[in-house]
Amino acid sequence: MRTQRKNLIGLLVFAICVMTLNLQAQFTVTGQYMSRGEYRHGFQSLADTNQKASLFVSQRARINAEYKQEKYKIYVSAQDVRTWGSVANAAIDTKGLFSVFEAYGELNCSKKFSAKIGRQVLSYDDDRIFGGLDWAMQARRHDAAVFKYNLDSTTTMHFGGAYNQNSESNKLIQYTVAGNYKSFQYFWLNKQIKKLNLSFLALNNGVAYNRVNTTTGVRDSMTLYQQTFGLRTEYKTDKMIGLVYAYYQMGDDNTNRKTSAVDLCGEIGYKPAKGFLVTLGAEYLSGQSQTDTAKAYRDVNHSFNPYYGTNHRFNGYMDYFYVGNHINSVGLLDAYLRLSYTHKKTLLSINTHMFNAAADVKDKSVTTSIAKMNAHLGAEVDFTFSHNFTDGVAVQGGYSQMFGTATMKAIKGGQLSPLSNWAYVMLIIRPGKVAWTKCGLKM
C-alpha cells in the first residue's frame, strides 16, 4: 500500500510538472523516414566495358525534439543513415551510422532580431550556393552562428559565420578535416516586391592550406579565402515564371591560385494549362581551359565552385557535374527543357539536358600539337514521378539515361558503347513537414 501511495504521489508530481511546463513552453517530438532503392550503371561517369550495374537500398531515419518558449528554442535532431546489409543482422553496430544531424539554440531577442547558434542546416533561395542537400541520406549541416533581422514583412537579412577546428587544444593546431572549410562568413538579403523576389548573397569562404616550408622543413598552415557574391531575381505570375541569377567568384582557391569565375543562369517557365509547366533555361558555369598554356592564364582558376549547394537539383539527376566532382575542371554550359504535369497528388516530369564544356577540352590523341575536342559533352533525359498518399507520405521514383560523347569520355572516363543509365524508387515519410512531399527535385 505504501509503495502504491508513493507511486501515485510520484505520478501526481510528474503530471503537475508537465502541466506547469506546458503553461510556459511547448515540447514536441517528431520523426522522419526515407528509404531509396537505386540501380546504377554509368552514374556520375560513363559506364565501362563489362561493368556490371550496382543495386542497393539506403535509408535515413530521424528523430527530432524541440523545446520552445517565447524567448528561445532548443532543437536536436539525430539520424541513423545506412545501406541495408552494411552491418550483419546479429552484429554489434560499430560503424558510427548514428549521429547528431542538428543541435542548436535559437534566441528571439526581439520581434525583428533573432540568433541561431549551433549545428544547423543553411538553405537559401533555390539551394545553389547554400542548400540542405536533403537528397543525400546524410544531408548537409554546418556548425555555425546565424543572426537574423527582419526589417519589415518583406525584407530579411541574415549574417552567418563558422570557425572550425579538429578538437579542443591548449595550443594552435592545424585544421586537417578533409573536405571541409576552416571558416566562412556570409550575408544574405532578401526582398519581396509583390510578385518579384530579389536576393543578394555574399560568401567569404576560407579553406586551410597546409604546405611544407622547403627551407625549414616545418609545415606551415594558413587560411585561403575565396569570395562569392551574386544576385538572384525571380518573378512569378499565374502563367509565367522567370528566373535569373549571376554569381562571381574571386580570391584564393585551395591551391593558392587567384580565382576569377562566374555562374550565370536564366530560365523562363510557362503554364499553358492547369497542372502543366514548361520550363526552358540555360546555366553557364565557367571552367579552366585545357589548351591555354599561357602562364598568366594558368595562374588563375577560372572554374566556378557552387560550394554547399544541393547540386543534385541542377545539371541532370545523374550527378555528372558538381556533386563531389567536376570542380576545377572545364566548367559547363547546360541548356535544359523541363516538362511537368501535376494532378491532385501526382507529379510527372521529363527533363532534358544538352551539356557542353564551358572551356576547351584537350584532344590527347593528337601529340604533335595542341588540339581541341568538340565542346559537346552529351545529353541526358530524366523521367520522374511522385505520388502523395497523404500529407507527408509519398513515393517518388525515376529513370535517367546519359548519351555521352567522346569529349565526355575524355573528361569522365568510361566507354560510349555500354548503356549509361540510372533508376530509383523511394519512400518518404515526413509528417508535418510539407503537404507536397518530394525530395531532390527542381520543378
Which string of DSSP letters, residue by residue, matches 347-394? EEEEEEEEEE-SS--B-TT--SS--BPPSEEEEEEEEEEEEEEETTEE
Residue 219 is predicted with a pLDDT of: 67
On whether residue 193 sits in a domain, the answer given is yes
The pLDDT of residue 53 is 97
Average pLDDT, the chain: 92
Contacts of 37 (CB under 8 A, 6+ apart): 55, 56, 57, 424, 425, 426
**Helix/strand/coil (H/E/C) assignment for every residue in 6-19:** HHHHHHHHHHHHHH
Which residues have CB under 8 Å from 206's CB, separation 6+?
181, 182, 183, 184, 223, 224, 225, 226
CATH code for the domain in which residue 263 is found: 2.40.160.100
Tell me: pLDDT of 19 over 70. Answer: no
Is 226's pLDDT higher than 70? yes
Q: What is the mean pLDDT of residues 98-114?
A: 96
Asked whether residue 151 is assigned to any structural domain, the reply reads: no
- Grid cell, residue 26, equals 511547448
Weakest-pLDDT range from 10-19, 44-53, 208-217, 421-430: 10-19
Task: Enter the pTM of the model.
Answer: 0.90
Count of C-beta atoms within a 10 Å radius of residue 37: 16
C-alpha 208 chain-centroid distance: 22
Judge contact between 310 and 323, C-beta under 8 A: no
All three cell numbers of 404:
555521352
The β-bridge partners of 187 are 159, 202
Query: Where does the pLDDT of residue 17 fall: very low under 50, low under 70, confident under 90, or very high at 90 and above?
Result: low
Would 403 be classed as within a structural domain? yes
Rounded (5°) CA angle 76-151-155: 85
Determine the Cα–Cα distance for residues 386 and 393; give it in Å rounded to an integer.
11
More confident call, 253 vs 16: 253
Q: How is residue 51 annotated by DSSP?
A: P
Q: Is residue 339 part of a domain?
A: yes
Q: What percent of the chain has pLDDT over 90?
A: 81
| Residue 437 domain-assigned (yes or no) | no
Stretch (H or E) spanning 151:
strand 142-152
Residue that the C-alpha cell 550483419 belongs to = 88
| pLDDT grade for 13, boundaries at 50, 70 and 90 | low
What nine digits make up the cell of 72? 528561445
Query: Which residue in 139, 142, 99, 98 sits closest to 119, CA to CA?
Result: 142
Mean pLDDT computed over 70-74: 95
Closest CA to 29 of 438, 436, 432, 392: 432
Residue with cell string 535509408: 59
Residues 320-358 as b/e (b if ≥16 CB within 10 A, e otherwise) read: bbbbeebbbbbbbbbebebebebeeeebebebebbbbbb
pLDDT tens-digit readout, 119-176: 999 999 999 999 999 999 999 999 999 999 999 999 999 999 999 999 999 988 889 9
Side-chain half-sphere CA neighbours of 289 within 13 A: 14
Q: Is residue 406 part of a domain?
A: yes
The Cα 173–Cα 398 span in angstroms is 46
Q: Rounded to an integer, what distance in angstroms lies between the CA atom of residue 442 and that of residue 271?
A: 16
Q: How many domains does the chain have?
A: 1
Beta strands 300-301; 276-285: pairing state: unpaired
- 126, 188 Cβ separation under 8 angstroms: no
Does some domain include residue 355?
Answer: yes
376-390 and 142-152: which strand pairing?
unpaired
> Among all chains, which residue has been given the C-alpha cell 543572426?
147
Amino acid present at 269:
G
Which span out of 17-26, 211-220, 306-315, 424-433 was modeled with the highest average pLDDT?
306-315
- Tally Cβ neighbours within 10 Å of residue 29: 8
d(CA 182, CA 180): 7
pLDDT of residue 24: 58
Percent of the chain clearing pLDDT 70 (strictly above): 93
Q: What's the pLDDT tens digit per position in 314-361? A: 999 999 999 999 999 999 999 999 999 999 999 999 999 999 999 999
Boundaries of domain holding 231: 27-61+182-429
pLDDT-wise least confident of 18-32, 112-126, 267-281, 410-424? 18-32
pLDDT at 211 over 50: yes
In a domain, 320, yes or no: yes
Cβ contact 105:179 at 8 Å: no
Model confidence at 4, pLDDT cuts 50, 70, 90, reads very low
Q: Which helix (H) or strand (E) holds 234?
A: strand 219-236
